[in-house]
Amino acid sequence: MDAQAGIARRAGLGRTHGIVALAWLCAATAGMLLAPSPDPTVGPDALRQPLQIDFFSYWSGYRVFRSGLNPYDTRNSASAFGFEIPCNRAPNNPPWLFFLMAPILNLPLAPASLLWLGIEVALAIGTTLWIWRGLLFAARPPPSASVALAASALAVPVVLAMHYGQTSMLLVAAATAAMIALAQGHFFWAGVWLSVCTLKPHLFLIPGLLACHEMCRNPRARWVLGGGAVGLTAITALPLAMNPAALGQWLDISARVGLLDWKTSCLQTWIRLGIRALGLGEPAWICWLFPVVAAIVTIAYLVIRRPAIAWATALPPALVLSLVCAPYHWSYDQALSLPLQTQLLGAAADRDVPVRDRRAIVISVAILFLLAYALKAALPNEMYFFWYPFALLGLWVRFRRAFPARWRSDAAGPEMR
């Protein structure tokens, strides 16, 4: 009976993936076929207005994209709206972002940014609940998730993503859906959700290598490739048909991005500044040192150890480690640490974990939050927030041995165990 219940449960979860993906695809397609609403009230304040700082780049770029012009050239946006827009305020994401957000971007700027805020809050809460009930407590009545839910909406990277109107929570939701699909053996749907992560592919190096390893050791996992191909085709076909030049324009601006001009929330920034202070210049290879070393070490580990990956426990720290090793990321990109944060708080709520460890996790996360808010307020520059993912990884290393052993199997179907 348990096996039959597990199979039925997995089939139901597979249908959930399909329903959500199809609903999103239909809404995005409808949005792309409708004309954007004009908004004559938009002015230069949009460039610094909370909720609109980065969201305006997507919103204005979408309208330029729909007109058939280059959405990555801010001169086109400036011409359309009648005020100067700096070149660093161009959208940096591929053109299928406009497709995925089309129903929202069609609205006037103010209601669109408010709606996007509501969606970000819903995604933060929804992904936390999905991890809580679908992975951490899949086979037993879950304890109260109130602390984890509050933490998901109050984590500094999540708050910053909302403040800027960024796409971070979209990536968190896609990565979480892929993690749950992988853990439950829904490899096709995992590929579909991973295709959404191409919005910022440089943040997913290590999860991508883990997925390749899974495909090599498990023939069924090769459905990830099929799902990825279907997903990428579904989200790129219409926008590239409407504006075929946009892909080349995005690749061009990506190739011309000056990483050395940015002081991002990465350890690499401090290494570059240290080398510059020594009078040794500022070599560009520093930006690529971490991802190259991370790729070599990860591939060597996978080839030598050939581990069976427990996705429910392995992917959250892999996401944070991938952030640390990315050529660059910003503080709001650190919202990808939300699954790891939820995993830690799940251990704190689990009665199978020793009381001493449960109490220590809650206190440690609370201290982390207080430090994050205090330091971000005192040192708002992006470069000073590089430490946050390291701190979360440190908490994971400290407490991972206390995580319940069942987390490796509860989320999987019978044939995955």
Q: Which domain holds residue 267?
A: 2-416
Tens digit of each residue's pLDDT (9 = 90 or more) over 14-23: 678 889 899 9
Q: Got the DSSP string for 118-178?
A: HHHHHHHHHHHHHHIIIIITTTS-----HHHHHHHHH-HHHHHHHHHT-SHHHHHHHHHHH
Residue 303: which residues within 8 A CB-CB, separation 6 or more?
none
Q: For residue 251, what are the CA distances in angstroms to 94, 148, 247, 360?
A: 8, 39, 6, 46
Q: How far from the centroid of its chain's Cα atoms is residue 338's Cα?
A: 9
Tens digit of each residue's pLDDT (9 = 90 or more) over 332-386: 999 999 999 999 999 999 999 999 999 999 999 999 999 999 999 999 999 999 9
Predicted local confidence at residue 4, as pLDDT:
43
* Dihedral pair phi/psi, residue 178, rounded to 5°: -65, -40
Specify the pTM. 0.92
Q: Got the DSSP string for 279-323?
A: TS---THHHHHHHHHHHHHHHHHHHHH-PPP-HHHHHHHHHHHHH
Tens digit of each residue's pLDDT (9 = 90 or more) over 196-223: 999 999 999 999 999 999 999 999 999 9
Whether residue 188 is predicted with pLDDT greater than 90 in this model: the reply is yes
Q: Total structural domains in the chain? A: 1
